[in-house]
Structure 1
């Protein structure tokens, strides 16, 4: 168990009135210490006695824009945000994050990576065009799906050249490129694309079986072979979420889990060192670990592996310094410290006696506040601010997860309410659009579990349905919304506040619906 400092400060937040009421439970007086027994099979654990009162705000940065009449944008964290543009007429309006959804994205014309994005359409049937066509398809897909696409181009090009040089991954890469091209044209994958993805999934299963049937040689060679076996698999996973149910995506993850485990040096039965994985130069290992951990958060299921997380203030600072060389923030939109914190909370939940330490949650609160949301400053201010908002939403999500998972709190706990309200203020401060909403689906699910007010639920519902893929039944985004709807309906009918277990129950109910 990680050591906890004896001088941990109690972080206070706004006092929630004991007579606070809401539209969902109008007859319920929100006294957090009152017994609260839900109707039905669920049993709420008692709330912890430690209830901090107020969390201080601090400035992350000031952004100004010379054109227009936006005078100042102030970001305050963690739970007292004001994400509105302050205009000369003092009228507050939500900021609009530029929604570039084609190859005319507003980028630096001098950027040497530009030809990869705006090259003319290539004839894929010409042999010499095969690799350029694949790179172009991947680049177009990156614009629609990645958090910071320009940062991904160089690494993506090198990886594609490597995959194209090997016969067993070349065909997979070309097929994936065709599906990506289909997706970027219509923001959907038709029956042909789904058939290709199903074929590739079967090929992955064959490759995994072949690899696992091969006895390990030296650890170095075995790790290289395992990493090679993961090539194209995680790209396949990233595309599947737009066209397949959650269960199918997790089946793919479970298939390659044993391959990933062979690439890790820890003996069988031991927890994996998450820091070593996130610092590994190969993106496949980092990507798998992040998907595994964040997938468990998003649906309430256990991760494929137990992860050892040696968190500390110094470690968070060290990780932040490595953002430009080892981070996958450009892919997911969250700093690695966020992933570490989610994994650490999961680890602590499995550690006997941890909940008896009254200093634990305040210490983790301090760590969450220490996370620096980085931006290289190369983008226009509004776009840069939008990316900061996404990261700050993840910060709010970690607070909610901490209180509801480790603290065993329900959605009426004052700390949960404070974090959820901070999240809603953030998300309402940026106008709906593909960007940033496509990158907010994860934290929306976490915050949605804790959302009580119908107005807030409607806002989250609209933001999810504003993403075209999430309107298609049987896709992960659509199922995520169905899970939230199931939580909201069940808890309302049972006249109780949600607990984190509700997410797992709803996930199983919705998964069975589509199985």
Structure 2
């Protein structure tokens, strides 16, 4: 326990919090209480949290991290994975504790770019969600309480993975987006996913709807009609501003919301409308993502949460200058392994697109080489 808090105290304020939580101020006041409670809840959580702290420090403090610590980071991941499997077999352990351990493991594998085990553990997490809820359906807007934090994060991972793999979501997502609570809950750590990942909750739901539509057993014409309806919702939705003490950060977070908006539009065109780079809506969204990104400082919050929108825009980019810009934005957003996978995948997509004379999308690749 002492080791963890020494490691955490050294690294947490400037690097870890700002890269781990999009709106870190939301949870700052009671963070230490939640960490202590979480750390002591299970062995998988203990090893998982130590592993995440060690991984982040290894990624961002190369000069002060000895080789022995880098090796211990891998060992902590191995121990977390082992403890999770033992806990999953133990009926005496709450499914909510199991979900928390799985999320710590998934988080490590996501940032380190360990694709094969990441997707396998996400499948396990979906099974535990069904056990915890007694249902296969999630209403992200109605989930509340500290206990649901890991479930909300796993829902986000499921939605993004469906986009990366061109597969249905593992769970169903149903929300009445037109009857949201009137109060602003963007500063509540016990609701939603925007404060963690930066994507407005409504867009997460609409991207899940897009994935569901992609795999619906209806005609192409019906899909196109529904796709345009979702696109209209994405275009027209008025996001609630994310609070921040500094005016510059408030403006940057508005920019982040708009980048996610255009990424959601591009996903509709990639998955439903089957558009290529010449489509005027596609061209406009790529252009706006690049323009808006130019107002953000590379590599810090909120830019460090935008690698996936940059990748999606990059997959449609036809001009070399735009490709270079978006590739650079991904590389400068952080030092994590999954970012390098995204850049390699983009390079291959562009090469194939140029060789074939038609747009090649990431969903045509198998086995998966990226995580969103």
TM-score (norm 1): 0.62
Question: Does 2:198 align with 1:329?
Answer: no
One of 79, 86, 94 as aligned partner of 1:206: 86
Partner of residue 51, structure 2: 176
Partner of residue 286, structure 1: 152
Question: Does 2:167 align with 1:302?
Answer: yes
What is the Cα-based RMSD across aligned positions, in Å?
Answer: 3.0
Q: How far off is 1:394 after superposition?
A: 0.4
One of 110, 119, 124 as aligned partner of 1:250: 119
Q: How does 1:21-32 map to 2 (within 5 A)?
A: none
Q: How far off is 1:334 after superposition?
A: 1.0
Structure 1 unaligned regions, length at least 5:
1-123, 215-221
Flag the structure with larger Rg: 1
Closer, same or farther: CA 410–319 of 1 in aligned 2, 3 Å: farther
Closer, same or farther: CA 347–481 of 1 in aligned 2, 3 Å: same
Closer, same or farther: CA 377–154 of 1 in aligned 2, 3 Å: closer
One of 449, 467, 473 as aligned partner of 2:315: 449
Q: How far off is 1:368 after superposition?
A: 1.1
Q: How does 1:224-235 map to 2 (within 5 A)?
A: 225-235=94-104
Q: Name the one with the larger helix percent.
A: 2
What does the per-residue CA deviation read over 1:433-452, in whole Å, with 9 as the maximum and x for residues that have no partner?
33443211011121122111
Q: How does 1:104-143 map to 2 (within 5 A)?
A: 129=2, 132-133=5-6, 136=9, 139-140=12-13, 141-143=16-18
CA contact (8 A) 1:169 1:232 kept: yes
Partner of residue 480, structure 1: 342
Partner of residue 40, structure 1: none
Q: How far off is 1:426 after superposition?
A: 1.3
Structure 2 unaligned regions, length at least 5:
none
What does the per-residue CA deviation read over 1:294-330, in whole Å, with 9 as the maximum and x for residues that have no partner?
1222x23425514142454x23x43874333312222
Closer, same or farther: CA 366–355 of 1 in aligned 2, 3 Å: same
Secondary structure of the 2:244 match is coil
TM-score (norm 2): 0.84
Q: How far off is 1:255 after superposition?
A: 3.0
CA contact (8 A) 2:59 2:335 kept: no
- Greater relative CO, 1 or 2 (CA 8 Å, sep 6+): 1
Of 174-183 and 236-245, more deviation after overlay is shown by 174-183
Closer, same or farther: CA 304–373 of 1 in aligned 2, 3 Å: closer
Question: Does 2:132 align with 1:259?
Answer: no
Q: How far off is 1:278 after superposition?
A: 4.1
Q: How far off is 1:279 after superposition?
A: 4.5
Partner of residue 192, structure 1: 72
CA contact (8 A) 2:263 2:309 kept: yes
CA contact (8 A) 2:138 2:174 kept: yes
Q: How far off is 1:393 after superposition?
A: 0.6
What does the per-residue CA deviation read over 1:4-62, in whole Å, with 9 as the maximum and x for residues that have no partner?
xxxxxxxxxxxxxxxxxxxxxxxxxxxxxxxxxxxxxxxxxxxxxxxxxxxxxxxxxxx
Take 1:374 and 1:463, find their aligned partners in 2: how far apart are those partners?
A: 26
CA contact (8 A) 1:146 1:332 kept: yes
Take 1:276 and 1:431, find their aligned partners in 2: how far apart are those partners?
A: 31
Take 1:356 and 1:170, find their aligned partners in 2: how far apart are those partners?
A: 47
What does the per-residue CA deviation read over 1:475-511, in whole Å, with 9 as the maximum and x for residues that have no partner?
211111111111111111011123xxx3123363747
Task: Report the count of equivalent residues.
Answer: 359
Take 1:416 and 1:366, find their aligned partners in 2: how far apart are those partners?
A: 14
